[in-house]
Structure 1
Amino acid sequence: MNLQTHTPVPADKGWRIWWQLTRPHTLTAAFVPVLLGTALAVKYTSVHLLLFLSMLIASLLIQAATNMFNEYFDYKRGLDNENSVGIGGAIVRNGVKSKTVLRLAFTFFALALLLGVYISANSSWWIAVVGFISMATGYFYTGGPKPIAYSPFGELTSGVFMGVVIIQISFFIQTGYISSESMLVSIPVSILIGTIMLANNIRDLDGDKKSGRKTLAILFGRKNAILFLASLFTLSYLWIILLILVTDASPWLFLTFISIPKALHAVKGFIGKTAPIEMMPAMKATAQTNTIFGFLMSIGIFIGYL
């Protein structure tokens, strides 16, 4: 999945092997939507803490499992090696058996499923249906004969399922319904989750092109893909302005603008770079933009209710 570099990447040791396998820099994409959906619900009901924690842990488990499936299938397709950038490296660098990674991913899915049963029993069994579809999407993102991640729909899929869907579920299990407000508020965070995948594909453009993938970054070309990344960041902040001007959203949502320097850092970090290792800071800044933006948006919503 990732282009080979000339500088060997050191192997992890002990617990770090398993921690890096989860790709921790991506886990905030699962944490932020749950926090945001729950913050929205505070206006209408008292928060059910166990449901919140169950949803949070289930989302993190599904995201970590999805990353493990990515690790497994990219290895099986011969796309990863010990010098690949942006991977956990448990298989190619640390000698963990590929089947062990696959079993661990399914174990995480099983644990998430158990939590899903508890969530559904205390809200609606329709949640189980949506949760199953989300888990299947996580598997087929890099699994199956035609992985979603290898197509132009990776950004859209990740944004919808990790953004809109998780936010709506988190809101629904607390309130018992979905509102136009929860849908509108979910859009900018969903866009930013999509930027994480876009940033990943910009970094891996050359290697992905050689392996026959058709990601947006490849279809657009590096320069246009960076411009598209910048436009998505811009749209997210414009959406906040529209929410405040057109709806009764609190002006405290302007707190999200504190994350703008991080977004600028992400875009500038890709310009003029071609080696994957050089673009890692930009990739990290993209994920951090989503984290900071989503966290501040949740705070802004909560303060607005006081």
Structure 2
Amino acid sequence: MAKVRKATARDWISGARLQTLPLAIAPIALGTAAAYVLPHEDAGPGWHWFRAILCLVVALSLQIAVNFANDYSDGIRGTDKHRVGPRRLTASGAAKPRTVFAVALVFFGIAAIAGLIIVIRTQQWWLLAIGAVAIVAAYFYTGGKRPYGYFGLGELFVFVFFGIVATAGTTFVLAGTVTLESWLSAVAIGLIACAVLMVNNIRDIEQDKLAGKRTLAVLIGNRASRIVFGVLLLAPFGILSFFTLFYANAYLVYFALLAAIPAVGITISAKTSAELIVALRLSALVALVYGLGLGWAIAF
């Protein structure tokens, strides 16, 4: 038996899956922008820079925690034995399962602490329930005896929490209200996040079938999944047309199509996992450009 190389610092950074972090950054940028344009003074209703940073910490920490929790849960369940993507810490034996789980708990803890500070500063105590549900949902995506990510519900979780909750929640935390801009941009970025998850699952569709992991891609099939991916990634540009009516620079966000269209084309025609990884990275880039670009257009 070949000796397994122990995880290095680079492996742990890779385990955090930095390419997925745009999915955490984009909704916070959009939610902050929607709050910023409301009537405000430096410390007024629409702008609280410290709260905005806390929202970003919550989103980033939850995203990293989910990535490590997935590594742990899929690894101990044996799902990643069939994996063709980048190696996982648990499944490869590079790190002990309990160590990977502990790292996930650390990031869940960071998210919880930042969320608690938000609650204390806003005095909106009901937000504790939202935060608790978000953490529980993040873990049980692939964790527990009946993970919902194994029953085709992953995209729904991503849309709700990394679209609606993250974007509208940020606006509410900063301004005490949620505007039409916030709701629409939440739907748009939620759809892009779903597209990122979909193309990732298309890459693993055959391996997930073998492992009994019934993602949405497995349930609807390879061809349909590729079409759905294209719809999810391009639909937000239809929503963008609303913003171009009211914000002079919003049209510039259409430059994100320079990444979106190739991502769709690659996904439709891809024959190898390497091609789908390229599409995944392009899709994450779309999320970042769309979120930061539209956020800038709204705010300035």
Q: TM-score, normalised to structure 1's length?
A: 0.88
- Distance (Å, rounded) in 1 between the aligned partners of 2:127 and 2:86: 32
Is contact 2:195–2:230 with CA below 8 Å preserved after alignment? no
Q: CA deviation at 1:94?
A: 6.2
- Measured on the aligned residues, the alpha-carbon RMSD in Å equals 2.0
1:286 corresponding residue in structure 2: 283
Instruction: Report the 3-state secondary structure (helix = DSSP H, G, I; strand = E; otherwise coil) of the residue aligned with 1:80.
Output: helix
Counterparts of 1:132-211 in structure 2 under 5 Å? 132-211=132-211
1:216 is matched with which residue? Answer: 216
Count of residue pairs the alignment pairs up:
290
Residue type of the alignment partner of 2:21: L
The answer to whether the aligner puts 1:90 opposite 2:89 as a matched pair is yes
CA contact (8 A) 2:84 2:204 kept: no
Partner Cα separation in structure 1 for residue 18 and residue 53 of structure 2: 18
Please give the per-residue CA displacement for 1:109-134, whole angstroms capped at 9, x wherever unaligned: 11211111110011111222111111
Deviation at 1:13, TM superposition (A): 6.0
User: Which residue of structure 2 lines up, in the alignment, with residue 121 of structure 1?
Assistant: 120
Amino acid at match of 1:25: Q
Give the direction of change, closer, same or farther, for the CA distance of 1:50–1:12 in structure 2 (3 Å limit): farther
What corresponds to 1:40 in structure 2? 34
* Cα distance in 1, alignment partners of residues 5 and 118 from structure 2: 38
User: Could you report, residue by residue, the CA deviation over 1:244-266 in whole angstroms, capped at 9, with x for unpaired residues?
Assistant: 45xxx314222221010211111
In structure 2, the partner of 1:76 is 76
In 1: Cα distance, 2:165 partner to 2:76 partner: 30
Unaligned runs of 5+ in 2: none
**Higher helix proportion:** 2
Aligned residue number for residue 6 of structure 1: none
Distance in 2 between residues matched to 1:195 and 1:151, nearest whole Å? 17
- Give the partner amino acid of 1:35: A
The amino acid of 2:111's aligned partner reads: A
Match of 2:269 among 260, 272, 276: 272
* C-alpha separation in 2, matches of 1:185 and 1:173: 16
Question: CA offset at residue 217 of structure 1?
Answer: 1.5
The answer to whether the aligner puts 1:260 opposite 2:257 as a matched pair is yes
Code of the residue aligned with 2:261 in structure 1: it is L
Does the 8 Å CA contact 2:17/2:64 hold for their aligned counterparts?
A: yes
Note the C-alpha offset of 1:82.
9.4
Change (3 A) 1:37 1:202: same
List structure 1 segments (4+ residues) > 3 angstroms apart after TM superposition.
10-14, 81-84, 242-245
Q: 1:143 to 1:13 in 2, by over 3 A?
A: closer
Which residue of 7, 11, 20 corresponds with 1:17? Answer: 11
Give the CA deviation at 1:216.
2.1
| C-alpha displacement of 1:177 | 1.7
Aligned mates of 1:192, 1:64 — CA distance in 2: 18
Report the CA distance between 1:83 and its aligned residue. 6.5
Are the aligned partners of 1:58 and 1:112 in contact in 2 as well (CA < 8 Å)? yes
Structure 1 position 70, deviation (Å): 0.4
The answer to which of 12-21 and 64-73 deviates more is 12-21
Deviation of the 1:300 alpha carbon: 0.9
Give the Cα–Cα distance (whole angstroms) in 1 for the partners of residues 93 and 211 of structure 2: 24
Cα pair 1:17 1:94 within 8 Å, conserved: no
2:58/2:110 contact within 8 Å kept: yes
Cα distance between partner residues in 1 of 2:163 and 2:233: 15
State the 1:157 CA deviation: 1.4
**Gaps in structure 1 of 5+ consecutive residues:** 1-9
Pair 283,138 (structure 1): closer, same or farther in 2 beyond 3 Å: same
1:27 aligns with 2:26: no
2:191 alignment partner AA: I
**Rounded Cα–Cα distance in structure 2 between residues aligned with 1:82 and 1:145:** 20
Conserved? CA contact 2:263–2:283, under 8 Å: yes
Tell me the CA shift for residue 173 of structure 1. Answer: 1.2
- Is contact 2:233-2:283 (8 Å) kept? no
Task: Calculate percent identity across the aligned residue pairs.
Answer: 28
State the shift of 1:184 in Å: 2.0
- Taking a change above 3 Å as real, the CA distance of residues 39 and 156 of structure 1, as seen in their structure-2 partners, is same
